[in-house]
């Protein structure tokens, strides 16, 4: 790894610790500076509120002249993040990256993205469509995912719990059932039909 990248990462880790912002965290995965683990807290006033989202951060050899490669390890229901792979669609992680940006700004931008989705530039077409056509179902799903995967506190939606239980009882894996139910805006019949057809 280049010396600039290493000093930059060391410096950035120190700065984040000192900034005392409880809602973002970055730590080394091992002794290597090219593989980091990040964590952000879901911003309040959103379905993601108080969820703990783990991120995988890969630092390229040419950092900071090229952007870090960031994806969600914790599954999330959001138009700009793939509900399957965790891949993120965010301009500063692509062509808008600037050498003067830092991981801290990336994490803060991701928090901002959770607060304000950009459904016209979607990463996950299914989620984006639901976001635009059926806000109610979207909020319900995003909240349930936050509780289910990101340990967001609070009572879970009984309708969701019930339907997920029914689907699992029919022998489908829970993750797959949840994906199918979410995709079909919690229409159990459609979801089951989808699950049996594939």
Q: Which of residues 78-107 bind another protein (CB under 8 A)?
A: 92, 96, 98-101, 105
- Beta-carbon contacts of residue 188 (< 8 Å; ≥ 6 apart): 163, 166, 167, 181
- Residue 19 in contact with another protein, rule: CB under 8 A: no
Q: What is the DSSP letter of 84?
A: T
- Residue 198 in contact with another protein, rule: CB under 8 A: no
∠ CA 105-55-174, nearest 5°, is 145
Q: Give 95 or 189: the residue with its C-beta nearer to another protein.
A: 95
- Residue 116 in contact with another protein, rule: CB under 8 A: no
- Residue 18 in contact with another protein, rule: CB under 8 A: no
Of 24, 41, 89, 128, the active-site residue reads 89
| Category of 126 on φ-ψ map: left (φ > 0), alpha (ψ -120 to 50) or beta | alpha
Active site includes 160? Answer: no
CB of 76 to another protein, least distance (A): 25
Helix, strand, coil shares of the chain as percentages rounded to 5?
Answer: 45, 15, 40
Q: Give 95 or 169: the residue with its C-beta nearer to another protein.
A: 95
**What stretch of H or E contains 28?**
strand 24-28
Applying CB under 8 A, the site for another protein has a residue count of 17
Q: Is the peptide bond before 192 cis (omega within 30 degrees of 0)?
A: no
CB of 98 to another protein, least distance (A): 4
Q: Site residues (CB under 8 A) for another protein?
A: 2, 4, 7-8, 11-12, 62, 64-66, 92, 96, 98-101, 105
The residues annotated with a catalytic role in the active site are 89
């Amino acid at each position: 790894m280049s010396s600039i990248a290493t000093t930059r990462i060391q410096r950035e880790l120190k700065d984040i610790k000192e900034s005392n912002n409880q809602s973002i965290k970055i730590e080394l995965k091992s002794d290597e500076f090219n593989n980091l683990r990040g964590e952000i807290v879901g911003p309040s006033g959103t379905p993601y509120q108080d969820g703990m989202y783990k991120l995988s951060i890969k630092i390229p050899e040419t950092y900071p002249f090229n952007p870090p490669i960031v994806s969600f390890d914790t599954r999330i229901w959001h138009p700009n993040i793939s509900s399957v792979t965790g891949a993120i669609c965010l301009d500063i992680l692509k062509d808008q990256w600037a050498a003067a940006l830092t991981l801290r700004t990336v994490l803060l931008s991701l928090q901002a993205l959770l607060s304000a989705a950009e459904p016209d530039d979607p990463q996950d077409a299914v989620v984006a469509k639901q976001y635009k056509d059926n806000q109610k179902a979207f909020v319900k799903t995003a909240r349930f995912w936050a509780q289910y995967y990101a340990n967001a506190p609070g009572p879970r939606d009984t309708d969701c719990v019930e339907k997920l239980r029914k689907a699992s009882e029919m022998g489908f894996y829970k993750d797959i059932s949840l994906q199918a139910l979410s995709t079909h805006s919690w229409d159990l019949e459609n979801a089951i039909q989808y699950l049996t057809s594939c």
